[in-house]
């Protein structure tokens, strides 16, 4: 793809993209020149411009005022700083909503929102879409050949939902395309229940405020439609740009595991995946949760490099209580993203805003100016990223797949379930946390992904399952992979209708276990009783426990590794392992967890499955310890290409065994067999035999620390 090649060329030309959102419309011309100089001195090479500039470009309907942007681009280009030029369509000018109230979104209560903030548009509004396309085309025509423009950025953090009449019409059209006729819709939605049957698509409405529970399939399809509707808005603007500029990469910014948009269905429409990430400094699991979303971003386009488009240099301003983030932690989070495949490290924003809702949001250049701890930290990071230029383009090689599906997540979190405490995303985080602690790389992939390159396939929760999904998991086990499946999986089909039979119906033969009842557990959980030489036995200092949900299971050939203790499920299998004996010479094993076990028990099961698959950690063993590290060590190990990244998220120095001879790319110092990584610090170790040539200009970057 030309755009994808364009991002690779951008990185090859300038190294890791480093910068952030820049809003010059908030400042005078004198400040523009000061900003560009300070950017250059900090090592900034790419800034996003124009995200919220629509009212400046088009102050009245049809007007075009671009002269100020011409000057901004010249100033930035004069300092060698590239521009990621945004379409300003995430925040229309107030006049659009005032003159055309039909462009404003309607919430589920039927209330039409007003202009005055941001995101004040309905993606279903044709008037909005026409106006957005017009400004996008004019921007592309004017700047497609400008040497400062290196990349295009469509909209901003797509996630708008509208329940109005125009949205209802588009929803009906989407349903016609999906089901063909109203009989198909009635069958898929199960409208015989509660007398919900429709005689015509014209009777179908969005899931607005209702007296009681909505139809779960209606809600699921609404979420699918809303994601597709936004994708259509993105595509219109992208295609308008691509018709004029055939080479520069085009992207938009994702938001991790965002619940309103299915990013797996969007990724192929982006030339490079970009993500906005704001981990909470007060969250003890923030490092592992960040690693998970970075693995997702890397995996969305098959392992290609991606961009951390936004993060905070210090504190954010939108939490009720905004804990600050130190420059050391900001640097470490940035290096973590590079370790997990990012070729771009950017922030919101360059210069702190004096006015508006984000006036207390941190920036690369704080209100107090460049002689500040935050800005000096930014300069240090710029020098670090220059030293890591040789890492660009390299891949993280993962032998473990974590299955994740947005539709399944949506369906599994609808109302009227056995429990609302079983959160698929929290399950994914808990399972990934074991891999993170052990230094085991994983790709986060969706059903339908080719699993042939993975030695272990982990399915924390896949509520929706189709026959093709089950066939792919079976094939993985037959060729020798370890499969681990979590509770409340394979419950329903793609229409969220429960599959009759002993669950999980499509996997019962593969797993050698089947269930008949979902049983939420008491608040304090229940004991798990290990069976025989189970890996669960002695997994942790405390007795094994089950929480949230249990399943009344029957072993149909599987080995029972643990049973439920006293209570409703007493004596029933809780954790099982099965070798299906299909006759395949290298057949693997299929493990099933019919509950949510404690952290130590979960880790024991996953480690046993990974051991059986021959999956090794990134960090070599340490004397007197297992090759894997236990959760809580807080030293993250991940390999990107030839480089071993060690990231110490703790407040204490960590001494680690690294057999062989290495060079730390961050310091240029040689390392032999052992390295000490300071608190909130990192090392990027390149094997000596791989060789290393410092990028041009590195000495100058180092002088800026």
Three-state DSSP state, 202: helix
Nearest residue to 295 (alpha-carbon basis) of 188, 170, 397: 397
Nearest residue to 35 (alpha-carbon basis) of 346, 364, 357: 364
Distance (Å, whole) CA 483 – CA 380 = 43
Q: How far is CA 205 from the centre of its chain?
A: 31
Tell me the CB-side half-sphere exposure of residue 645, using CA atoms within 13 A. Answer: 27
User: Omega into 504 within 30° of 0, i.e. cis?
Assistant: yes
- Please report, for residues 161, 163, 275, 348, the alpha-carbon distance to residue 168 in angstroms, rounded to integers and kept in the order given: 11, 7, 30, 35
Nearest residue to 566 (alpha-carbon basis) of 549, 548, 546: 546
Distance (Å, whole) CA 395 – CA 305 = 7
Kindly state the tokens that stand for 244: 């004029």
Count of beta carbons in the 10 Å neighbourhood of residue 177:
10
Kindly state the tokens that stand for 96: 């659009």
**DSSP letters of 27-42?**
S-HHHHHHHHHHHHHH
Distance (Å, whole) CA 15 – CA 45 = 9
Nearest residue to 458 (alpha-carbon basis) of 432, 478, 426, 494: 432
Residue whose token pair is 């973590």: 336
Contact 600, 562 (CB under 8 A): no
Q: In the 8-state DSSP scheme, what is residue 498?
A: B
Note if 157 is an active site residue: yes
Nearest residue to 182 (alpha-carbon basis) of 199, 165, 166: 199
Q: For residue 74, which phi and psi values (nearest 5 degrees)? A: -65, -40
Contact 483, 591 (CB under 8 A): yes
- Give the DSSP H/E element, type plus range, for residue 701: helix 698-703
**DSSP letters of 244-262?**
T-SSS-EE-EE-SS-TTS-
Note if 310 is an active site residue: yes
Residue whose token pair is 């702190």: 352
Phi/psi class of residue 704: alpha, beta or left (left: φ > 0; alpha: ψ in -120 to 50)? alpha
Which residue of the set 157, 304, 414, 636 is catalytic? 157
Nearest residue to 291 (alpha-carbon basis) of 438, 463, 485, 484: 438
Residues with Cβ < 8 Å from 394, sequence gap 6 or more?
Answer: 640, 641, 642, 643
Is the CA virtual torsion 332, 333, 336, 337 positive or negative? negative
What are the percentages of helix, strand and coil residues in the chain, rounded to 5? 35, 20, 45
Contact 464, 408 (CB under 8 A): yes
User: What is the four-CA torsion angle of 270, 340, 374, 388, rounded to 10 degrees?
Assistant: -100
Nearest residue to 457 (alpha-carbon basis) of 411, 412, 510, 409: 510
Which residue of the set 58, 166, 304, 310 is catalytic? 310
Distance (Å, whole) CA 526 – CA 533 = 21
Phi/psi class of residue 268: alpha, beta or left (left: φ > 0; alpha: ψ in -120 to 50)? alpha
Which residues are bridge partners to 47 per DSSP? 20, 83
Distance (Å, whole) CA 610 – CA 613 = 5
Point out the residues that are catalytic: 157, 310
């Amino acid at each position: 793809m030309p755009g994808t090649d364009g991002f690779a060329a951008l990185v090859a030309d300038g190294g890791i993209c480093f910068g952030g959102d820049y809003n010059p419309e908030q400042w005078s011309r004198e400040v523009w020149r000061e900003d560009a100089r300070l950017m250059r001195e900090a090592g900034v090479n790419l800034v996003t411009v124009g995200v919220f500039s629509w009212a400046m470009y088009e102050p009245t309907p049809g007007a075009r005022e671009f002269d100020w942007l011409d000057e901004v681009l010249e100033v930035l280009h004069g300092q060698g700083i590239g521009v990621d030029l945004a379409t300003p369509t995430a925040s229309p000018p107030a006049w659009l909503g005032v003159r055309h109230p039909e462009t404003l979104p309607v919430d589920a209560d039927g209330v039409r929102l007003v202009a005055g903030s941001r995101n004040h548009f309905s993606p279903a509004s044709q008037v909005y879409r026409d106006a957005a396309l017009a400004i996008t085309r004019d921007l592309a025509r004017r700047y497609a050949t400008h040497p400062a423009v290196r990349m295009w950025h469509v909209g901003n953090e797509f996630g708008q939902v509208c329940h109005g009449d125009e949205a209802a019409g588009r929803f009906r059209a989407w349903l016609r395309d999906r089901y063909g006729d109203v009989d198909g819709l009635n069958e898929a939605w199960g409208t015989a229940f509660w007398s919900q049957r429709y005689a015509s698509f014209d009777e179908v409405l969005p899931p607005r405020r209702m007296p009681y529970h909505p139809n779960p399939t209606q809600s699921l399809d609404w979420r699918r439609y809303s994601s597709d509707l936004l994708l259509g808005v993105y595509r219109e603007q992208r295609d308008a740009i691509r018709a004029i500029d055939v080479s520069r990469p085009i992207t938009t910014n994702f938001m991790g595991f965002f619940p309103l948009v299915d990013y797996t269905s969007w990724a192929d429409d982006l030339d490079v995946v970009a993500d906005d990430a704001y981990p909470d400094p007060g969250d003890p699991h923030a490092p592992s949760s960040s690693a998970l979303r970075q693995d997702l971003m890397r995996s969305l386009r098959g392992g290609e490099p991606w961009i951390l488009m936004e993060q905070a240099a210090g504190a954010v301003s939108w939490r009720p209580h905004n804990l600050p983030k130190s420059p050391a932690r900001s640097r470490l989070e940035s290096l973590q993203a590079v370790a997990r495949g990012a070729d771009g490290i950017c922030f919101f924003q360059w210069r702190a805003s004096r006015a508006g809702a984000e006036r207390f949001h941190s920036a690369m250049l704080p209100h107090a100016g460049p002689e500040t701890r935050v800005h000096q930290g930014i300069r240090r990071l710029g020098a670090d990223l220059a030293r890591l230029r040789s890492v660009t383009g390299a891949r993280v090689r993962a032998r473990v797949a974590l299955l994740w599906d947005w539709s399944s997540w949506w369906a599994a979190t609808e109302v009227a379930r056995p429990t609302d405490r079983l959160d698929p995303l929290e399950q994914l985080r808990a399972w990934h946390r074991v891999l993170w602690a052990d230094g085991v790389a994983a790709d986060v992939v969706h059903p339908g992904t080719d699993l042939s390159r993975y030695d272990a396939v982990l399915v924390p929760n896949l509520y929706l399952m189709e026959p093709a999904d089950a066939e792919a998991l079976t094939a993985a086990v037959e060729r020798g992979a370890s499969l681990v499946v979590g509770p409340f999986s394979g419950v329903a089909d793609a229409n969220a209708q429960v599959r009759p039979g002993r669950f999980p119906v499509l996997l019962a033969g593969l797993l050698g276990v089947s269930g008949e009842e979902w049983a939420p557990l008491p608040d304090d959980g229940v004991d798990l009783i290990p069976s025989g030489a189970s890996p669960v036995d002695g997994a942790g200092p405390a007795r094994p426990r089950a929480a949230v949900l249990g399943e009344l299971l029957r072993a149909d050939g599987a080995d029972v590794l643990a049973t439920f203790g006293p209570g409703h499920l007493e004596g029933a299998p809780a954790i099982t392992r099965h070798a299906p004996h299909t006759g395949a010479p290298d057949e693997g094993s299929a493990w099933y967890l019919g509950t949510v076990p404690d952290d130590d028990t979960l880790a024991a099961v996953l480690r046993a499955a990974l051991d059986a698959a021959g999956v090794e950690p990134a960090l070599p063993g340490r004397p007197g310890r297992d090759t894997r590290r236990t959760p809580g060590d807080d030293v993250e190990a991940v390999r990107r290409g030839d480089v071993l990244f060690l990231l110490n998220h703790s407040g204490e120095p960590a001494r680690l065994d690294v057999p062989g001879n290495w060079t730390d790319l961050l310091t240029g110092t040689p390392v032999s067999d052992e390295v000490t990584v300071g608190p909130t610090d990192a090392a990027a170790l390149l094997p000596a035999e791989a060789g290393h040539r410092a990028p041009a200009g590195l000495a100058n970057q180092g002088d800026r620390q």
